[in-house]
Amino acid sequence: MKLFVQQLTVLDFSFLHPRRGLVGESWWLDIVLEGGLDEQGMVLDFGDVKRQVKSLVDEHFDHRLLVPADHPALSTGDDEIRFRTEGGGLVRHRGPAESVQFVTGEAVTEETVADAIRALLAPRLPGNVERVRLRLHGEEIDGAWYCYSHGLKGHCGNCQRIAHGHRSRIEILRDGRRAPDLEALWAERFRDIYIGTGTDLAAITRHGEQTHFRFAYEAEQGRFELELPAERCYLIDTESTVENIARHVRERLEREHPESRFQVRAFEGIGKGAISETP
């Protein structure tokens, strides 16, 4: 007998990629449990599936930096992670242990992360559950989207972690009509970007021929630092909440096109976000 739950939860996280560097991502999680029936006539109660799996994913994978543990470009030590990209850039992260999750293998993929979740989940399931199948997959988006990473030092939850992210759509209305050209422009501008707060920029450094930005702040969970190529950073004057991102895009559009009125719908991962409109 098989029990399935589709779109059980969403993982919002960032990961290290040898070409793209620091990448924000959002994946749905589907699960299938196979086994015999218990005394209630169930493989496992739906409520227990949702509670146990979501709790595990939230604790170990959501809003973390996922690191390919066996990639040759990775080095670690003293709570610091250093990852060299193919273009010669450096991504350096320092923070509390709970802000990072190492994933076995040379790449962070849907399959390697599913294997890591399964390895943690299997010992927690009752004996009648014989097999667990997991599927991680991105949202199907018809239109413009981008991947971004950020950190919110004032957040009381896990959003305070300096390197977590999202894969997000963007919708822009110009004078009441969708503007796919502007959506594509901003999606390209924010492609694989780190949206940083100007006041958190602690230093401008050089590694090889590349300029890097170093961000640092103290938050409730501890001290965080992140260094990465400046060309992969976009600075704003406020905390990089989705509300402020939507407002920032709208205000830029208004300066560039003062004759028009705009509505910006900026998503933060899947199914949530903020709307900013010309007053």
- Describe the strand order of the beta sheet including 2-17 as a list of residue ranges: 100-103, 65-68, 2-17, 21-35, 129-137
Same domain, residue pair 131 and 241: no
Q: Domain ends where: 137, 153, 174?
A: 137
Same domain, residue pair 240 and 161: yes
Same domain, residue pair 104 and 153: no
The structural domain count of the chain equals 2
CATH number at residue 26: 3.30.479.10
Task: Note the pTM of the prediction, 2 decimals.
Answer: 0.94
Give the pLDDT score at 124: 81
pLDDT tens, residue by residue, 216-246: 999 999 999 999 999 999 999 999 999 999 9
Give the pLDDT score at 40: 57
Q: Domain ends where: 137, 153, 188?
A: 137
Same domain, residue pair 103 and 156: no
At residue 237, the 3 state secondary structure works out as: coil
Same domain, residue pair 93 and 158: no
Q: Domain ends where: 137, 158, 184?
A: 137
Q: For the stretch 189-222, what's the b/e string if a residue is b when 16 or more beta carbons lie within 10 angstroms of its beta carbon?
A: ebebbbbbbeebeeeeeeeeebebbbbbbebebe
* Alpha-carbon gap, residue 21 to 94, rounded angstroms: 16
Q: How confident is the model at residue 132 (pLDDT cuts 50, 70, 90)?
A: confident
Same domain, residue pair 151 and 108: no
Same domain, residue pair 133 and 173: no
